[in-house]
Copies of this chain bind each other. A is one copy, B any other.
Amino acid sequence: MKTADPELMRAMNRFSVLDSIRRHGPISRVEITERTELSPTTVSAITGSLLDDGLILTRHEGDIRSESVRGRPRVMLELNPAAARVVGAKIAANRMVFVVTDFCGSVLAALTLPIRIDRQPISVIADIVEDGVRRCVLDAGLALSEIHSICLGLPGVIEHRSGHIRSSPILRDANVDFAAEMSARLKTTTIVESDATAITLAHHWFGQARDLEDMVLVSLEQTLGLGVLHNNRLFRGAGGLSHNLGDLVLGMSKDGVMRLASQAGENAILGSEQADGRFAEAVRLGRGMAHAQALIEADDSPLIGAAIRAGETIGFTIANIVTLFAPPRVIVVGSSLALGEPFLTSLRKAYALAIPPSLQDVSEIVFDDSNDDLWARGAAAVALYELYESPWNTTGPAL
């Protein structure tokens, strides 16, 4: 077990303060005191040290309640955007999205590469990723040496702690130490993370879960992913292993197992339409969902049927997830949301049927169709999170 010494105590409170500043914009010391329940003294000491380290800035203007308030005005504190920069990336089968963000998580530069990397050997993919990172950093007017760390989000079973990709639908190889590979290439600390986990943190920081400390996110893309926020922290399986919803088994028959991915994955839904040559081509190029959307609006009944079936399956799967994690909110994201009403309605209906009565009021389902940038930004947030947890001068009694 981790041993508790003053240093840990300091680190915890420092994180607590830093997190308050991040979450609640420009914020005064008094308000931090209230939020963290730390004493004014401690807050003052910690913010002082954060200021010394250049992680935060003061601002004298922004006190909202400045009109007709008597005493000394509050000095507002905010993150120093220039304190560090990180790169976040979303790596998917048919595209990569890179962003460079500052210390606040604001995007400085974004780059989308619509490249189909599906099942290329690892070296090819690493080449493309390396290139993307370098270009995006350049676009931001920075040098790679100015980047503190990089986080790559990709689908599959990721072992965050060790940086290994145990398996990913977009890779040919299995069990690759991708973090080490990319760290060596870019000479910058690189971590890998499940894309679903990344977007989960993105929603916690910037999106629909800012107000929550527990939450579950289901991502419906070519791969089906799951992210869990538990007690304000990302919950990963034992050993830091990420979840992979698509691997869930729905049932068994003589021929083998029926997995969720084969029932409600993007390919499964669109696959029902593969007869049409133009459509298949669109799918291959990553435009499948856009096409599907058009077809559904034109009342393409086989596709609508597939969407309804998928929605039903996802619906009760979400109910199962709620049974296990009891989160107050489930956020559903991903390209499959483009299937529109037939899909969503059947999902909601199936969920309502499947959720056990005793959990009926526990969870609300929310849909969110943010763009790819948010995913990449989530990856960046993962990198920032690790930074926040151990701000370089962890020890720093002023001086």
Contact = CB atoms under 8 A, between A and B. Distances in A.
Nearest to A321: B324
How many copies of this protein are present in the complex? 2
B326 A237 contact: yes
Nearest to A226: B324
Contacts of A6: 9
Contacts of A251: 250-251, 316
A237 B325 contact: yes
A43 to B, nearest CB: 11
Given A237-B324, A252-B312, 5 more contacts: A174-B358, A243-B323, A249-B316, A251-B251, A252-B350
Nearest to A14: B4
A257 B354 contact: yes
A9 B4 contact: yes
Interface in A286-310: none
B357 A319 contact: no
Determine the interface band of chain A, counting residues with CB < 8 A from chain B: 35 or more
Contacts of A285: none
B157 A356 contact: yes
B37 A16 contact: no
A12 interface: yes
Contact of A9 (B9, B36, B175, B245): B9
Interface string A1-29: 10111101110110010010000000000
Contacts of A166: 358-359
Name A's interface SS.
Answer: mixed
A394 interface: no
B3 A325 contact: no
A232 interface: yes
Contacts of A230: 238
B325 A257 contact: no
A346 to B, nearest CB: 10
Contacts of A3: 13, 16, 36-38
Interface in A118-166: 156-157, 166
A362 interface: yes
A112 interface: no
A320 interface: yes
Given A237-B326, A356-B167, A19 B1 contact: yes
A243 B324 contact: yes
Contacts of A356: 157, 167, 244, 247
Of A38, A156, A326, the most chain B CB neighbours within 10 A belong to A326
26 contacts: A3-B37, A3-B38, A4-B12, A4-B13, A157-B359, A167-B356, A174-B357, A174-B358, A226-B324, A230-B238, A237-B324, A238-B326, A238-B328, A239-B326, A243-B323, A243-B324, A244-B323, A245-B323, A247-B323, A247-B356, A247-B359, A248-B323, A249-B316, A249-B354, A252-B312, A324-B324
